[in-house]
Homo-oligomer: A and B are copies of this chain.
Amino acid sequence: MTSLPARCCAPIAAGRLDDSQAQATAEVFKALADAHRVKILNLLANSREPVCVCDITDSMELSQPTVSFHLKKLVSAGLLNREERGTWSYYSIDGDALKDLDRIFQTKERTRTR
């Protein structure tokens, strides 16, 4: 495991990945490898509007610093976007990232429409 960064989400089942692709893929999965982060992603994936940290915190049984910690991981992985409005921070799903991810488990024999 030596190579340098690659972009995420080459399909796993449609040809061999090199080390750097495997690494990039693992980074994204690491961001999702926690039930609290899955909940956050799910919350934001199902909300039309961006959501502030306070509301995310209210919806989880975690302290605010811990929520911020998880949010940071999700942003770093490219899954969320962060937007400041005055004292507030609003977070939202990155739709493009989601679209990329939606290709990752595709198998060779499969196609997709609209």
Contact = CB atoms under 8 A, between A and B. Distances in A.
Interface residues of A, number: 42
Interface stretch (A18-26, A49-57, A80-88): A18-26
Interface in A64-101: 93, 98-99, 101
A109 B30 CA distance: 27
Interface in A1-55: 1, 12-13, 15-17, 19, 22-23, 25-26, 29-30, 32-39, 41-43, 45-46
Contact of A113 (B41, B93, B98, B111): B111
A26 B34 contact: yes
How many copies of the shown chain assemble into the complex? 2
Nearest to A42: B17
12 contacts: A1-B35, A17-B38, A17-B42, A23-B35, A26-B33, A29-B29, A30-B33, A30-B34, A33-B33, A98-B105, A109-B114, A111-B113
A111 B114 CA distance: 5
A35 B93 CA distance: 24
